[in-house]
């Protein structure tokens, strides 16, 4: 079973890959790992942090016209500097893991792995699909369509680093839930990573998502916390 530290490492590598593939960067400053884009600036699991370092990160986000700065923390880190720097406490990720041996994917015409613009994802994932086209493959995106309307109904990503695969950004739009799409998306991206050599999957879950993942063999290995600062225009 993966450790919390391994879950944090996979999360950091995913954010690094997103930034570097999609036009951003990963910056290490005074031992702090910052990534930017496509959805904001993120500070990844610092052992300690100061209000001054956080303010520098916020200033950098403003320079790059990003509108949100996130900080991902493990337990036991002093959170006082975050409040001092204007951040608000956010959701608590539940780290979960499961072996990928024997992962099975049922044939489901509603679910497909996607790589190219104009595919099942419509306009939603077009920029990020550059991650799915990296060679040799490091990331996979699965999209879901509603069988009746044909509308894009959800997506999920997996990302492999060594023997571990992270599952990220899994969402089924509210109108299409409770139809098995979440299960299909999860199985599709886990199986894709397993075929590429991953032996275990890790993820961070909300309290709602934890129920779905537990039904599919994921077990809780620990928790974390996030802090966020939303930046105003100007």
> Does 216 map to a domain?
no
Helix 207-215 / helix 181-195 crossing angle, nearest 10 deg: 70
Residues 90 and 110 in one domain: no
The secondary structure of 61-76, three-state, reads HHHCCCCEEEEEECCC
Q: What is the total residue count of the chain?
A: 234
Each residue of 94-111: pLDDT tens digit? 999 999 998 877 789 999
User: Is residue 209 assigned to a domain?
Assistant: no
- The pLDDT value recorded for residue 233 is 58
> For 54-58, 117-121, 184-188, which range has the lowest pLDDT when averaged over its residues?
117-121
Q: Identify whether residues 136 and 193 lie together within a single domain.
A: yes
Distance between CA 108 and CA 184 in Å, rounded?
7
Judgement on whether residues 46 and 123 belong to the same structural domain of the protein: no
Report the C-alpha gap between 208 and 46 in whole angstroms. 27
Q: Does 114 share its domain with 38? A: no
Any domain includes 207: no
89 & 106 share domain: no
Q: How many C-beta atoms lie closer than 10 Å to residue 53's C-beta?
A: 19
Same domain? 71 vs 117: no
Compute the average pLDDT of residues 18-33: 92
Q: Answer for the pair 47, 77: CB distance below 8 angstroms, yes or no.
A: yes
Task: Say yes or no: 113 and 92 in one domain.
Answer: no
The answer on 91 and 50 residing in a single domain is yes
In a domain, 62, yes or no: yes
* Of the candidates 171, 183, 191, 189, the residue with the CA atom closest to the CA atom of residue 214: 183
Asked if residue 116 and residue 71 are part of one domain, the reply reads no
Gap between the Cα atoms of 101 and 62, Å rounded: 44
CB atoms within 10 A of CB 88: 11
Which DSSP symbol is given to 53?
H
pLDDT at position 234 is 46
Q: CB neighbours of 108 closer than 8 A, spacing ≥ 6? A: 180, 184
DSSP per residue, 170-224: EEE-GGG-SSSHHHHHHHHHHHHHHHTT--EEEEEE-HHHHHHHHHTT-EEEEE-
Cβ 55 vs Cβ 215: under 8 Å: no
Q: Which residues span the domain enclosing 77? A: 4-96+224-230
Residue 25 structure tokens: 């960067």
Residue 174: which CATH number? 3.40.630.30
The three-state secondary structure class of 77 is: coil
> How many domains are there within the chain?
2
Is 47 contained in some domain? Answer: yes
Q: Do residues 191 and 124 share a domain?
A: yes
Residues 8 and 59 in one domain: yes
The reply to whether 91 and 115 lie within a common domain is: no
For residue 114, what are the β-bridge partners? 141
pLDDT at residue 122 in the model = 52
Question: Is 203 part of a structural domain of the chain?
Answer: no
Return the structure tokens found at 54. 């956080």
pLDDT beyond 50 at 173: yes
What's the first-to-final CA gap in the chain, in angstroms? Answer: 46
Q: Residue 206: inside a domain, yes or no?
A: no
68 or 106: which leads in pLDDT: 68
Instruction: Band the pLDDT of 123: cuts 50, 70, 90.
Output: low
Q: Is residue 168 part of a domain?
A: yes
């Amino acid at each position: 079973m993966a450790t919390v530290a391994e879950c944090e490492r996979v999360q950091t590598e995913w954010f690094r890959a997103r930034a570097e593939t999609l036009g951003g960067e990963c910056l290490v400053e005074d031992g702090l790992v910052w990534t930017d884009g496509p959805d904001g600036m993120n500070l990844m699991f610092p052992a300690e942090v100061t209000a001054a370092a956080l303010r520098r990160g916020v200033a950098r986000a403003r320079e790059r016209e990003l509108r949100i700065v996130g900080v991902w923390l493990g337990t036991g880190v002093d959170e006082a500097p975050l409040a001092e720097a204007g951040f608000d406490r956010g959701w608590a990720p539940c780290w979960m893991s499961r072996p990928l041996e024997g992962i099975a994917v049922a044939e489901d015409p509603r679910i497909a792995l996607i790589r190219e613009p104009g595919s099942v994802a419509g306009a939603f994932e077009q920029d990020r699909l550059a991650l799915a086209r990296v060679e040799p493959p490091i990331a996979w995106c699965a999209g879901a369509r509603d069988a009746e309307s044909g509308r894009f109904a959800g997506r999920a990503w997996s990302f492999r680093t060594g023997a571990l695969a992270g599952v990220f950004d899994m969402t089924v739009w509210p109108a299409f839930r409770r139809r098995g799409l979440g299960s299909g998306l999860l199985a599709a991206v886990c199986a894709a990573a397993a075929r590429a050599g991953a032996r275990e999957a890790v993820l961070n879950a909300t309290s709602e998502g934890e129920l779905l993942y537990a039904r599919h063999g994921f077990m809780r290995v620990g928790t974390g916390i996030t802090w966020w600062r939303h930046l105003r225009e100007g």
